[in-house]
């Protein structure tokens, strides 16, 4: 197992989480403290300024009320004098604005004395005079924060003027910056000490966990003697004790399991059939390679899986049913393209006390056996059917003749001719069956001799061309070069007879049959093509089976037994060749077969 790096360990994660918690707490406390302190300082400062402004408002009110209604040029001078005497250091400018005309009556700023007597453009001053309430706002002027306040001067419930002042509050924000710096420094110092304490605290937690990890690694290597050190009796200490108990239990279980595996392995190592072993709950604990190949599954996916699920029996059987099963169970895994059948026998593993330890399933591949049995049953059924039809016909005609039909000079010859035809058909069928039986026998021998195949092929085609009764054209694409192959001439003659006869049977009037011979490196390919109705794609692989007919009614009418192509396949296979068919419905069929061809042997023979 790969060693865990420091940057991926729980030790570092614990310290990081601990530090982050402290950092978040400090930030929340700092933000809350700074916001409250800022609000408190600003509020105290504003109340202090407002208390001083109230005195100024009183003095200006007395001066305005005394001179109200009179055009006294000394009024503005008196107000200017009051403002100059009153102006504190933290206030940049104070103005007095008339409440009726909104003219500036005086200002404390020496540089703005030219504004006296002009209408004020400030909306806050006008709003405070109209509403009779204070208007204030914090603004940024020349990169400095200022507090602007407009206070109405009331007389008999009427705002007769307003005092407008601009106070510099940069000192308050400078104090807040200093406080923030102090808080940041304190937070950094606290985090340093927190990280140190976090490392020490994390070690007390991660040390036993690290010991348990080392013990787990040792267990994977088969070492169960090591124990985890218990540092205390808290939750982690209890976990360490439980881990040590688990180690002891695993050691005992492994010893038991190894003993059982050795017993089963000694049996399985001498078996070629598929063997599967389960525990007492029906889960697979052992499976050999033949069983894996039969089931087509990897070992990793079936181990610890229920046996009934792996065999596909979960719908009809439970594990308890398999324990009681005395007979074999046939498992059919066949598909449309490939048959595959297994037989499973089950044997219970139990102690002398009767306690069931598990089950052993032995799998046998019986696909070929089932296929042979099925072919045998089909063969018997087909032979019975093929013999029953002519025999039934013959019996009916013979009974009619026995009952007096022989006296009828018109009917009797027809009945006798039909009976003779059915007899000949049965004789052909029996002869074909005997021939197939000979081909199936182990001691069957071919009488091979060297034959010039193009000459041999042309001779057979000539025979059919001379005796044909239907209007069918023969086209030959056969090389004139000599191609000598070693064959049993009689057997290959029968192969060609069967294929050409089928081509002529299914060729329409005016159709064409094409004969070809192609020479390859190690074999020759002979093909016969017709222009008949063709064969459906699903039937192509079956036309070489015994008694198989695509069009059964027409084949019987033409006298076929359904064994011609089956005999041809057996004979070609006996020569070491291969036969197959290609067809397109409505366009015709091509039957091809190969024969071994050794060019060097031909040269030596020549």
Domain covering 449-605, topology: Heat Shock Protein 90 (3.30.565)
Architecture of domain 271-365: 2-Layer Sandwich (3.30)
Check residues 400 and 474 and name the one with the higher pLDDT: 474
276-291 CB burial, b ≥16 within 10 A, e <16: bbbbeebbbebbbebb
Residues 6+ apart with CB under 8 A from 414: none
**What's the pLDDT score for residue 555?**
47
Question: For 482-486, what is the mean pLDDT?
Answer: 90
How far, CA to CA in Å, does 569 sit from each of 120, 153, 525?
A: 120, 126, 14
Measured CA to CA, the distance from residue 177 to residue 144 in angstroms comes to 14
Residue showing tokens 């306690």: 355
Please report the pLDDT score of residue 559 as a whole number: 47
Position 554 scores a pLDDT of 46
pLDDT band at 553 (very low <50, low <70, confident <90, very high): very low
Query: One fold for both 11-176 and 271-365?
Result: yes
CA distance linking residue 38 with residue 32, whole number of Å: 10
- For residue 23, what pLDDT is reported? 82
Does the predicted model carry a pTM greater than 0.85?
A: no
The percentage of the chain sitting over the pLDDT mark of 70, rounded to a whole number, equals 86
Domains of the chain, by residue range, sit at 11-176, 271-365, 370-440, 449-605
pLDDT band at 1 (very low <50, low <70, confident <90, very high): very low
In whole angstroms, what is the distance from residue 152 CA to residue 164 CA?
A: 9
16 to each of 24, 208, 319, 562, how far by Cα in Å? 12, 20, 53, 86
Q: Which of 300-304, 378-382, 438-442, 534-538 has the highest mean pLDDT?
A: 300-304
Distance of alpha carbon 394 from its chain centroid, rounded?
A: 66
Residues 334 and 336: their CA atoms lie apart, in Å, by 7
Which carries the bigger pLDDT value, residue 233 or residue 121? 121
CATH no. for 370-440: 1.10.287.130
243 has pLDDT over 90: no
Whether 209 has a pLDDT exceeding 80, the answer reads no
Mean pLDDT across 343-364:
84
Q: CB 113: neighbour CB atoms within 10 A? A: 13
Q: What's the mean per-residue pLDDT of the chain?
A: 79
Whether 603 has a pLDDT exceeding 90, the answer reads no
For residue 601, what pLDDT band results from cuts at 50, 70 and 90? low
CATH T-level topology, domain 11-176: Beta-Lactamase (3.30.450)
Q: For residue 342, what are the β-bridge partners? A: 331, 365
Whether the Cβ atoms of residue 218 and residue 251 lie closer than 8 Å to each other: no
Q: 96, 71, 101: which is closest to 82 by C-alpha?
A: 96
CA gap 495, 568 in Å, rounded: 5
Q: In degrees to the nearest 10, what's the CA dihedral of 534, 536, 541, 544?
A: -50
Highest mean pLDDT among 417-421, 444-448, 452-456, 461-465: 452-456
**Percentage of residues in the chain with pLDDT exceeding 90?**
5
How many angstroms separate the Cα of 420 from the Cα of each of 227, 417, 424?
A: 98, 5, 6
Rounded distance between C-alpha atoms, residue 562 and residue 382, angstroms = 10
Residue 514: pLDDT band by 50, 70, 90 thresholds?
very high
pLDDT band, very low/low/confident/very high, at 267 (cuts 50, 70, 90): low
pLDDT at 583: 87
Strands (E), 336-445: 341-350, 356-365
């Amino acid at each position: 197992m790969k060693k865990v790096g420091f940057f991926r360990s729980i030790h570092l994660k614990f310290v990081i989480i601990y530090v982050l918690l402290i950092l978040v707490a400090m930030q929340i406390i700092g933000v809350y403290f700074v916001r409250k302190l800022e609000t408190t300082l600003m509020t105290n400062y504003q109340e202090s300024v407002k208390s001083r402004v109230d005195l100024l408002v009183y003095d200006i009110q007395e001066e305005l009320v005394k001179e109200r209604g009179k055009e006294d040029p000394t009024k503005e001078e008196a107000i200017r004098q009051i403002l100059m005497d009153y102006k504190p250091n933290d206030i940049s400018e104070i103005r007095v604005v008339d409440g009726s005309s909104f003219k500036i009556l005086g200002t404390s700023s020496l540089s703005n004395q030219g504004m006296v007597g002009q209408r004020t453009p400030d909306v806050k001053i006008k709003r405070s005079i109209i509403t009779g309430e204070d208007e204030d706002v914090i603004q940024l002027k020349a990169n400095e924060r200022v507090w602007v306040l407009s206070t109405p001067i009331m007389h008999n419930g009427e705002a007769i003027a307003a005092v407008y002042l601009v106070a510099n509050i940069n000192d308050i924000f400078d104090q807040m910056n200093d406080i923030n710096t102090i808080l940041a420094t304190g937070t950094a110092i606290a985090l340093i000490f927190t990280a140190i304490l976090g490392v020490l605290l994390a070690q007390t937690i991660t040390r036993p966990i690290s010991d348990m990890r080392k013990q787990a690694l040792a267990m994977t290597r088969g070492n169960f003697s090591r124990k985890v050190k218990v540092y205390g009796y808290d939750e982690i200490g209890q976990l360490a004790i439980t881990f040590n108990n688990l180690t002891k239990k695993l050691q005992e279980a492994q010893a038991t399991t190894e003993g059982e595996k050795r017993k089963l392995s000694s049996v399985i190592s001498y078996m070629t059939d598929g063997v599967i072993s389960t525990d007492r709950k029906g889960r697979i604990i052992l499976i050999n390679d033949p069983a894996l190949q039969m089931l087509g599954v990897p070992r990793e996916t079936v181990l610890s899986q229920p046996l009934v699920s792996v065999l596909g029996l979960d719908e009809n059987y439970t594990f308890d049913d398999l324990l009681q099963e005395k007979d074999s169970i046939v498992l059919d895994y066949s598909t449309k393209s490939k048959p595959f059948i297994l037989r499973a026998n089950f044997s219970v593993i139990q102690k002398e006390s009767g306690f069931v330890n598990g089950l052993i399933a032995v799998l046998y591949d019986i696909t070929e056996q089932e296929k042979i049995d099925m072919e045998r049953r089909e063969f018997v059924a087909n032979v019975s059917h093929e013999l029953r039809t002519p025999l039934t016909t013959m019996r009916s005609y013979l009974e009619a003749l026995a009952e007096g039909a022989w006296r009828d000079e018109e009917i009797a010859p027809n009945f006798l001719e039909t009976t003779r035809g059915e007899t000949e058909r049965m004789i052909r069928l029996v002869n074909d069956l005997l021939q197939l039986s000979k081909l199936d026998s182990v001691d069957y021998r071919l009488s091979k001799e060297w034959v010039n195949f193009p000459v041999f092929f042309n001779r057979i085609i000539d025979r059919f061309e001379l005796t044909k009764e239907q209007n069918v054209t023969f086209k030959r694409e056969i090389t004139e070069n000599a191609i000598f192959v070693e064959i049993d001439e009689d057997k290959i003659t029968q192969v060609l007879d069967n294929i050409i006869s089928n081509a002529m049977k299914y060729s329409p009037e005016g159709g064409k049959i094409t004969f070809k011979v192609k020479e390859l490196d190690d074999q020759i390919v002979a093909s016969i093509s017709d222009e008949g109705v063709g064969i459906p794609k699903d039937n192509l692989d079956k036309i070489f089976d015994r008694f198989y007919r695509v069009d059964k009614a027409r084949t019987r009418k033409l006298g076929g037994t359904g064994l011609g192509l089956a005999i041809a396949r057996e004979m070609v296979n006996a020569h070491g060749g291969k036969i197959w068919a290609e067809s397109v419905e409505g366009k015709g069929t091509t039957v091809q077969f190969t024969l071994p061809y050794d060019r060097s042997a031909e040269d030596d023979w020549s």
